[in-house]
Amino acid sequence: MQKNLTRNGNSYALTLDKPLMELLNMNSDTPVEIRTDGQSFLVTPVRPVDPTRAKAFLDAVKEVNTTFEPLFQSLAKR
């Protein structure tokens, strides 16, 4: 999809089509995070953190750190 920027006061705006907004389950109140690598933009909807997924992730990190601690320490010494 190719779009043009529109002038909005002293700024520029990018209009997102309704089907795209619906696909991403977004509306005008959805906060977005905008990142760039200096060449392009990445616009990502900000979603609330799911506490169940967050706990599962932290538990997995803890398990990996415990299981591979000797290996990580060995690699850190190199």
Predicted confidence pLDDT, tens digits, the chain (78 residues)? 899 999 999 999 999 999 999 999 999 999 999 999 999 999 999 988 899 999 999 999 999 999 999 999 999 998
What letter does residue 68 receive in the DSSP assignment?
A: T
pLDDT of residue 59: 97
- 16 CB-near residues (< 8 Å, 6+ apart): 26
Q: Quick one: tokens of 3?
A: 């779009």
Q: Quick check: pTM over 0.85?
A: no
pLDDT of residue 25: 92
- CA–CA gap between residue 23 and residue 57 (Å, rounded): 26
pLDDT of residue 54: 94
